Chain A
Protein backbone atom coordinates (compact mmCIF):
# COMPACT_ATOMS: atom_id res chain seq x y z
CA UNK A 1 0.00 0.00 0.00
CA UNK A 2 1.31 3.41 -0.81
CA UNK A 3 -0.49 5.99 1.21
CA UNK A 4 1.82 8.96 1.40
CA UNK A 5 1.76 11.43 4.29
CA UNK A 6 -0.28 13.84 2.23
CA UNK A 7 -2.83 11.10 1.42
CA UNK A 8 -3.10 10.16 5.07
CA UNK A 9 -3.48 13.78 6.00
CA UNK A 10 -6.12 14.40 3.40
CA UNK A 11 -7.98 11.26 4.35
CA UNK A 12 -7.99 12.34 7.99
CA UNK A 13 -9.26 15.76 7.04
CA UNK A 14 -12.03 14.34 4.86
CA UNK A 15 -13.01 11.95 7.61
CA UNK A 16 -12.88 14.80 10.09
CA UNK A 17 -15.37 16.80 8.02
CA UNK A 18 -17.54 13.70 7.64
CA UNK A 19 -17.61 12.88 11.33
CA UNK A 20 -18.21 16.57 12.03
CA UNK A 21 -21.43 16.30 10.05
CA UNK A 22 -22.25 13.03 11.76
CA UNK A 23 -21.76 14.69 15.16
CA UNK A 24 -24.05 17.53 14.12
CA UNK A 25 -26.72 14.98 13.26
CA UNK A 26 -26.21 13.09 16.53
CA UNK A 27 -26.30 16.31 18.51
CA UNK A 28 -29.56 17.22 16.79
CA UNK A 29 -31.02 13.85 17.80
CA UNK A 30 -29.90 14.58 21.37
CA UNK A 31 -31.65 17.96 21.45
CA UNK A 32 -28.56 20.07 20.85
CA UNK A 33 -26.27 18.32 23.35
CA UNK A 34 -22.60 18.75 22.53
CA UNK A 35 -20.73 15.82 21.05
CA UNK A 36 -17.03 15.69 21.81
CA UNK A 37 -14.89 14.20 19.06
CA UNK A 38 -11.38 12.80 19.13
CA UNK A 39 -8.88 13.37 16.36
CA UNK A 40 -9.21 10.94 13.47
CA UNK A 41 -6.95 7.90 13.45
CA UNK A 42 -5.95 5.72 10.55
CA UNK A 43 -4.69 2.18 10.96
CA UNK A 44 -3.75 -0.51 8.56
CA UNK A 45 -4.41 -3.81 10.28
CA UNK A 46 -6.03 -7.22 10.07
CA UNK A 47 -9.59 -7.77 11.19
CA UNK A 48 -8.48 -9.84 14.18
CA UNK A 49 -6.14 -7.05 15.31
CA UNK A 50 -8.98 -4.60 14.87
CA UNK A 51 -11.29 -6.84 16.86
CA UNK A 52 -8.78 -6.93 19.72
CA UNK A 53 -8.47 -3.16 19.66
CA UNK A 54 -12.23 -2.68 19.69
CA UNK A 55 -12.66 -5.22 22.50
CA UNK A 56 -10.45 -3.20 24.84
CA UNK A 57 -12.85 -0.28 24.47
CA UNK A 58 -16.23 -1.95 24.20
CA UNK A 59 -15.77 -5.03 26.34
CA UNK A 60 -16.98 -8.45 25.26
CA UNK A 61 -20.30 -7.33 23.88
CA UNK A 62 -20.38 -4.85 21.08
CA UNK A 63 -23.28 -3.15 19.34
CA UNK A 64 -22.80 -1.93 15.86
CA UNK A 65 -24.88 -0.39 13.13
CA UNK A 66 -23.24 -1.41 9.90
CA UNK A 67 -23.79 0.13 6.50
CA UNK A 68 -22.01 -1.07 3.37
CA UNK A 69 -21.22 1.64 0.85
CA UNK A 70 -20.20 1.69 -2.78
CA UNK A 71 -18.78 4.34 -5.02
CA UNK A 72 -15.39 4.78 -6.62
CA UNK A 73 -14.24 2.61 -3.73
CA UNK A 74 -16.23 0.40 -1.43
CA UNK A 75 -16.21 -0.43 2.23
CA UNK A 76 -18.15 -0.68 5.40
CA UNK A 77 -19.14 2.13 7.74
CA UNK A 78 -19.88 1.33 11.36
CA UNK A 79 -21.09 3.07 14.43
CA UNK A 80 -19.82 1.10 17.42
CA UNK A 81 -20.76 1.35 21.06
CA UNK A 82 -21.07 -0.99 23.99
CA UNK A 83 -24.32 -2.76 24.72
CA UNK A 84 -25.03 -0.84 27.90
CA UNK A 85 -25.22 2.36 25.90
CA UNK A 86 -27.78 1.21 23.39
CA UNK A 87 -30.82 1.98 25.52
CA UNK A 88 -29.59 5.54 26.05
CA UNK A 89 -29.36 5.95 22.30
CA UNK A 90 -32.86 4.58 21.83
CA UNK A 91 -34.22 7.02 24.39
CA UNK A 92 -32.48 9.85 22.59
CA UNK A 93 -33.89 8.82 19.25
CA UNK A 94 -37.47 8.27 20.31
CA UNK A 95 -37.67 11.07 22.83
CA UNK A 96 -39.16 11.26 26.29
CA UNK A 97 -42.77 11.15 25.20
CA UNK A 98 -42.63 7.55 24.01
CA UNK A 99 -44.21 4.81 26.08
CA UNK A 100 -41.50 2.52 27.52
CA UNK A 101 -43.18 -0.68 26.30
CA UNK A 102 -43.09 0.56 22.72
CA UNK A 103 -39.52 1.64 23.25
CA UNK A 104 -38.20 -1.84 23.91
CA UNK A 105 -40.14 -3.19 20.95
CA UNK A 106 -38.57 -0.51 18.77
CA UNK A 107 -35.06 -0.80 20.16
CA UNK A 108 -33.43 -2.48 17.14
CA UNK A 109 -35.22 -0.28 14.63
CA UNK A 110 -34.41 2.89 16.50
CA UNK A 111 -30.72 2.00 16.80
CA UNK A 112 -30.58 1.31 13.07
CA UNK A 113 -32.16 4.66 12.36
CA UNK A 114 -29.68 6.52 14.60
CA UNK A 115 -26.80 4.71 12.88
CA UNK A 116 -28.28 5.36 9.48
CA UNK A 117 -28.54 9.10 10.08
CA UNK A 118 -25.09 9.39 11.63
CA UNK A 119 -23.27 7.22 9.06
CA UNK A 120 -25.02 8.78 6.10
CA UNK A 121 -24.16 12.27 7.31
CA UNK A 122 -20.52 11.23 7.49
CA UNK A 123 -20.43 9.44 4.14
CA UNK A 124 -22.35 12.21 2.37
CA UNK A 125 -19.99 14.91 3.60
CA UNK A 126 -16.95 12.88 2.51
CA UNK A 127 -18.44 12.15 -0.91
CA UNK A 128 -19.33 15.80 -1.46
CA UNK A 129 -15.91 16.97 -0.40
CA UNK A 130 -14.11 14.56 -2.72
CA UNK A 131 -16.63 15.13 -5.50
CA UNK A 132 -18.21 11.74 -6.09
CA UNK A 133 -21.38 9.92 -5.20
CA UNK A 134 -21.67 7.06 -2.73
CA UNK A 135 -24.55 4.62 -2.63
CA UNK A 136 -25.32 3.19 0.79
CA UNK A 137 -27.04 -0.06 1.61
CA UNK A 138 -29.78 -0.45 4.20
CA UNK A 139 -28.27 -0.40 7.72
CA UNK A 140 -28.19 -3.48 9.88
CA UNK A 141 -27.72 -3.90 13.60
CA UNK A 142 -25.19 -6.44 14.85
CA UNK A 143 -24.72 -7.37 18.47
CA UNK A 144 -22.12 -9.78 19.78
CA UNK A 145 -18.44 -10.37 20.46
CA UNK A 146 -16.30 -7.91 18.47
CA UNK A 147 -15.03 -10.87 16.39
CA UNK A 148 -18.53 -11.83 15.29
CA UNK A 149 -19.55 -8.27 14.55
CA UNK A 150 -16.43 -7.35 12.59
CA UNK A 151 -16.06 -10.58 10.66
CA UNK A 152 -19.73 -10.69 9.70
CA UNK A 153 -21.19 -13.64 7.83
CA UNK A 154 -17.87 -14.67 6.39
CA UNK A 155 -16.59 -15.51 9.88
CA UNK A 156 -13.08 -16.81 10.47
CA UNK A 157 -12.17 -16.47 6.79
CA UNK A 158 -12.04 -12.73 7.37
CA UNK A 159 -9.60 -12.95 10.29
CA UNK A 160 -6.43 -12.18 8.35
CA UNK A 161 -7.99 -9.76 5.91
CA UNK A 162 -6.10 -6.48 5.93
CA UNK A 163 -8.16 -3.34 6.06
CA UNK A 164 -7.63 0.36 6.22
CA UNK A 165 -9.42 1.47 9.34
CA UNK A 166 -10.44 5.05 9.94
CA UNK A 167 -11.86 5.88 13.31
CA UNK A 168 -12.99 8.72 15.50
CA UNK A 169 -14.32 8.52 19.04
CA UNK A 170 -17.35 10.47 20.11
CA UNK A 171 -18.78 11.11 23.53
CA UNK A 172 -21.73 12.92 24.97
CA UNK A 173 -21.13 13.88 28.54
CA UNK A 174 -24.69 14.42 29.68
CA UNK A 175 -25.86 10.99 28.63
CA UNK A 176 -22.52 9.34 29.43
CA UNK A 177 -22.56 7.97 25.99
CA UNK A 178 -19.50 7.09 24.01
CA UNK A 179 -18.66 5.12 20.99
CA UNK A 180 -16.85 5.42 17.77
CA UNK A 181 -17.44 5.77 14.10
CA UNK A 182 -15.22 3.60 11.98
CA UNK A 183 -14.86 2.84 8.31
CA UNK A 184 -13.12 -0.03 6.91
CA UNK A 185 -11.98 -0.25 3.38
CA UNK A 186 -10.96 -3.39 1.57
CA UNK A 187 -7.31 -3.43 0.73
CA UNK A 188 -8.26 -3.59 -2.97
CA UNK A 189 -10.21 -0.35 -2.63
CA UNK A 190 -7.22 1.62 -1.45
CA UNK A 191 -5.86 2.17 -4.95
CA UNK A 192 -9.16 3.74 -6.02
CA UNK A 193 -9.23 5.78 -2.85
CA UNK A 194 -5.74 7.13 -3.56
CA UNK A 195 -6.87 8.05 -7.09
CA UNK A 196 -9.82 10.00 -5.64
CA UNK A 197 -7.57 11.77 -3.16
CA UNK A 198 -5.13 12.70 -5.93
CA UNK A 199 -7.90 14.05 -8.08
CA UNK A 200 -9.17 16.12 -5.18
CA UNK A 201 -5.67 17.42 -4.44
CA UNK A 202 -5.17 18.42 -8.06
CA UNK A 203 -8.52 20.20 -8.20
CA UNK A 204 -7.62 22.12 -5.05
CA UNK A 205 -4.25 23.13 -6.45
CA UNK A 206 -5.82 24.39 -9.66
CA UNK A 207 -7.96 26.90 -7.79
Chain B
Protein backbone atom coordinates (compact mmCIF):
# COMPACT_ATOMS: atom_id res chain seq x y z
CA UNK B 1 0.00 0.00 0.00
CA UNK B 2 1.25 3.48 -0.80
CA UNK B 3 1.70 5.85 2.10
CA UNK B 4 2.14 9.58 1.94
CA UNK B 5 3.91 11.70 4.50
CA UNK B 6 2.66 15.28 5.00
CA UNK B 7 4.96 17.63 6.86
CA UNK B 8 3.69 21.17 7.48
CA UNK B 9 3.63 23.31 10.61
CA UNK B 10 0.20 24.63 9.64
CA UNK B 11 -2.61 22.40 10.81
CA UNK B 12 -4.90 24.07 8.27
CA UNK B 13 -2.51 23.25 5.43
CA UNK B 14 -2.29 19.62 6.54
CA UNK B 15 -6.05 19.38 6.87
CA UNK B 16 -6.61 20.70 3.37
CA UNK B 17 -4.05 18.31 1.93
CA UNK B 18 -5.67 15.40 3.77
CA UNK B 19 -9.04 16.42 2.39
CA UNK B 20 -7.84 16.57 -1.22
CA UNK B 21 -5.68 13.47 -1.03
CA UNK B 22 -8.53 11.40 0.39
CA UNK B 23 -10.65 12.45 -2.57
CA UNK B 24 -7.91 11.92 -5.15
CA UNK B 25 -6.37 8.70 -3.79
CA UNK B 26 -8.75 7.03 -1.32
CA UNK B 27 -6.39 4.02 -1.04
CA UNK B 28 -3.41 5.98 0.21
CA UNK B 29 -2.49 5.90 3.85
CA UNK B 30 -1.80 9.45 5.04
CA UNK B 31 0.66 10.20 7.82
CA UNK B 32 1.23 13.69 9.23
CA UNK B 33 3.96 15.55 11.07
CA UNK B 34 4.23 19.21 12.10
CA UNK B 35 8.01 19.54 11.84
CA UNK B 36 11.17 17.84 10.65
CA UNK B 37 12.12 16.14 13.90
CA UNK B 38 8.75 14.50 14.36
CA UNK B 39 8.73 13.47 10.68
CA UNK B 40 12.10 11.74 11.11
CA UNK B 41 11.01 10.06 14.34
CA UNK B 42 7.87 8.87 12.62
CA UNK B 43 9.72 7.42 9.65
CA UNK B 44 12.17 5.67 11.93
CA UNK B 45 9.26 4.01 13.69
CA UNK B 46 7.55 3.10 10.43
CA UNK B 47 10.83 1.80 8.90
CA UNK B 48 9.18 1.98 5.50
CA UNK B 49 10.02 0.02 2.40
CA UNK B 50 11.70 2.41 0.02
CA UNK B 51 9.46 2.72 -2.97
CA UNK B 52 6.16 2.69 -1.09
CA UNK B 53 6.23 6.26 0.12
CA UNK B 54 5.61 9.75 -1.15
CA UNK B 55 6.20 12.93 0.84
CA UNK B 56 4.89 16.50 0.66
CA UNK B 57 7.02 18.84 2.73
CA UNK B 58 6.65 22.49 3.69
CA UNK B 59 9.77 24.69 3.71
CA UNK B 60 9.44 27.17 6.60
CA UNK B 61 9.00 25.16 9.79
CA UNK B 62 10.27 25.21 13.36
CA UNK B 63 13.63 23.49 13.56
CA UNK B 64 14.94 22.26 10.26
CA UNK B 65 13.82 23.63 6.91
CA UNK B 66 11.96 21.43 4.43
CA UNK B 67 15.00 20.93 2.20
CA UNK B 68 17.12 19.70 5.10
CA UNK B 69 14.37 17.31 6.08
CA UNK B 70 14.05 16.04 2.50
CA UNK B 71 17.75 15.29 2.41
CA UNK B 72 17.54 13.40 5.68
CA UNK B 73 14.58 11.41 4.38
CA UNK B 74 16.51 10.15 1.36
CA UNK B 75 17.27 6.86 3.11
CA UNK B 76 13.52 6.20 3.28
CA UNK B 77 12.08 7.95 0.24
CA UNK B 78 13.75 8.62 -3.13
CA UNK B 79 14.02 12.31 -4.15
CA UNK B 80 11.59 12.04 -7.07
CA UNK B 81 8.88 10.82 -4.69
CA UNK B 82 9.16 13.97 -2.57
CA UNK B 83 7.92 17.50 -3.14
CA UNK B 84 8.59 20.77 -1.41
CA UNK B 85 5.21 22.55 -1.09
CA UNK B 86 5.82 26.10 -0.01
CA UNK B 87 4.79 29.73 -0.08
CA UNK B 88 8.45 30.64 -0.17
CA UNK B 89 8.80 31.18 -3.88
CA UNK B 90 12.29 32.67 -3.80
CA UNK B 91 14.63 31.47 -6.53
CA UNK B 92 17.16 30.34 -3.93
CA UNK B 93 14.61 27.95 -2.40
CA UNK B 94 13.46 26.62 -5.77
CA UNK B 95 17.07 26.01 -6.76
CA UNK B 96 17.74 24.16 -3.51
CA UNK B 97 14.83 21.81 -4.27
CA UNK B 98 16.02 21.36 -7.83
CA UNK B 99 19.53 20.51 -6.68
CA UNK B 100 18.16 17.81 -4.39
CA UNK B 101 16.09 16.41 -7.25
CA UNK B 102 12.81 16.85 -5.41
CA UNK B 103 9.67 18.36 -6.91
CA UNK B 104 8.67 21.93 -6.11
CA UNK B 105 5.09 23.13 -5.75
CA UNK B 106 4.08 26.72 -5.13
CA UNK B 107 1.41 27.45 -2.52
CA UNK B 108 -1.52 28.12 -2.57
CA UNK B 109 -2.23 24.50 -3.36
CA UNK B 110 -5.41 23.15 -4.89
CA UNK B 111 -6.66 19.69 -5.93
CA UNK B 112 -5.55 20.22 -9.54
CA UNK B 113 -1.98 21.03 -8.54
CA UNK B 114 -1.89 18.01 -6.22
CA UNK B 115 -3.26 15.70 -8.91
CA UNK B 116 -0.58 16.92 -11.32
CA UNK B 117 2.13 16.37 -8.75
CA UNK B 118 0.93 12.85 -7.91
CA UNK B 119 0.97 11.97 -11.60
CA UNK B 120 4.62 13.01 -11.73
CA UNK B 121 5.64 11.16 -8.60
CA UNK B 122 3.69 7.91 -8.89
CA UNK B 123 5.70 6.40 -11.78
CA UNK B 124 8.64 6.29 -9.36
CA UNK B 125 6.82 4.13 -6.83
CA UNK B 126 7.93 0.48 -6.66
CA UNK B 127 4.36 -0.68 -7.30
CA UNK B 128 4.00 1.12 -10.62
| B89–A21 touching, CB < 8 Å | yes
Checking B13, B16, B62, B108 against A138 with a beta-carbon cut-off of 8 angstroms, the contacting residue is B62
Most chain A CB within 10 A, of B60, B86, B89, B93, is at B89
| B12–A109 touching, CB < 8 Å | yes
| B90–A116 touching, CB < 8 Å | no
Query: Shortest distance in angstroms between A165's beta carbon and chain B's nearest beta carbon?
Result: 23
Checking B12, B62, B90, B107 against A25 with a beta-carbon cut-off of 8 angstroms, the contacting residue is B107
Query: Chain B contact residues (Cβ within 8 angstroms of A): what range?
Result: 20 to 34
Report the Cα distance A80→B90, complex, angstroms: 23
Q: A116-B87, A127-B90 are known contacts. Are A106 and B60 too (CB-CB below 8 A)?
A: no
Checking A25, A93, A106, A133 against B11 with a beta-carbon cut-off of 8 angstroms, the contacting residue is A106
A128 sits at the interface (CB 8 A): yes
Most chain A CB within 10 A, of B61, B62, B90, B91, is at B90
| A121–B10 touching, CB < 8 Å | no
| B90–A134 touching, CB < 8 Å | yes
Query: Chain A contact residues (Cβ within 8 angstroms of B): what range?
Result: 20 to 34
| A28–B60 touching, CB < 8 Å | no
In the bound complex, residues from chain B placing their C-beta under 8 Å from that of A136 are 60, 88
Known: A29-B108, A136-B60. 18 other contacts (CB 8 A): A25-B108, A94-B12, A109-B15, A110-B12, A112-B12, A116-B107, A117-B107, A119-B87, A120-B60, A120-B88, A124-B87, A124-B88, A124-B93, A125-B89, A128-B90, A133-B92, A137-B60, A138-B60
In the bound complex, residues from chain B placing their C-beta under 8 Å from that of A49 are none
Q: Which of A1-22 contact B (CB under 8 A)?
A: 21
Sample (30) of A-B pairs whose CB atoms are under 8 Å apart: A21-B89, A25-B87, A25-B107, A28-B110, A93-B12, A94-B16, A95-B16, A102-B15, A106-B12, A106-B15, A109-B15, A113-B13, A116-B10, A116-B60, A116-B87, A117-B87, A117-B107, A117-B108, A120-B87, A120-B88, A124-B93, A125-B89, A127-B92, A128-B90, A133-B90, A133-B92, A136-B60, A137-B60, A138-B60, A138-B61
Query: Shortest distance in angstroms between B64's beta carbon and chain A's nearest beta carbon?
Result: 13
B9 sits at the interface (CB 8 A): yes
Query: Shortest distance in angstroms between B42's beta carbon and chain A's nearest beta carbon?
Result: 20
Query: Shortest distance in angstroms between A48's beta carbon and chain B's nearest beta carbon?
Result: 31
Q: Show the binding face of A for B, using Cβ within 8 Å.
A: 21, 25, 28-29, 93-95, 97-98, 102, 106, 109-110, 112-113, 116-117, 119-121, 123-125, 127-128, 133-134, 136-138
In the bound complex, residues from chain A placing their C-beta under 8 Å from that of B92 are 127, 133
Checking B12, B19, B88, B90 against A113 with a beta-carbon cut-off of 8 angstroms, the contacting residue is B12
In the bound complex, residues from chain B placing their C-beta under 8 Å from that of A109 are 10-12, 15
In the bound complex, residues from chain B placing their C-beta under 8 Å from that of A25 are 87, 107-108
Report the Cα distance A123→B60, complex, angstroms: 13
Query: Shortest distance in angstroms between A142's beta carbon and chain B's nearest beta carbon?
Result: 16
In the bound complex, residues from chain B placing their C-beta under 8 Å from that of A112 are 10, 12
Query: Shortest distance in angstroms between B128's beta carbon and chain A's nearest beta carbon?
Result: 29
| A98–B87 touching, CB < 8 Å | no
| B91–A113 touching, CB < 8 Å | no
